[in-house]
Amino acid sequence: MKRYRGIKHSFRPKSYWNDGNVPQVLLRDVKGTERRKMIKHYYEQGMFQELDETFTKSSLTEDERNRFGAIHPSFMGGEYLTDCNPSETEIARVTLRSTTQDVISIRAKREDGELRYSIVDEYDDHEFSLWTEFSQKPFSLKELIEFLDNSS
The pLDDT confidence band at residue 3, using thresholds 50, 70 and 90, is confident
pLDDT digits (tens, 9 = 90+) for 85-97: 989 999 999 999 9
Query: Would you say 133 and 150 are in contact if contact means Cβ atoms under 8 Å apart?
Result: no
Q: What is the pLDDT of residue 2?
A: 79
3-state secondary structure the chain: CCCCCCCCCCCCCCCCCCCCCHHHHHHCCCCCHHHHHHHHHHHHCCCHHHCCHHHHCCCCCHHHHHHHHHHCHHHHCCCCCCCCCCCEEEEEEEECCCCCCCEEEEEEEEECCEEEEEEEECCCCCCCCCCCCEECCCCCHHHHHHHHHHCC
pLDDT digit string, tens, across residues 72-115:
999 999 999 999 998 999 999 999 999 999 999 999 999 999 99
Dump pLDDT digits (tens) for 32-68.
Answer: 999 999 999 999 999 999 999 999 999 999 999 999 9
pLDDT at 11: 96
pLDDT of residue 126: 81
Give the mean pLDDT of 122-131.
Answer: 88
pLDDT of 19 strictly over 80: no
Identify the band that residue 25 occupies on the pLDDT scale cut at 50, 70 and 90. Answer: confident
Q: pTM, whole model, 2 decimals?
A: 0.89
CA atoms of 150 and 152, how far apart (whole Å): 7
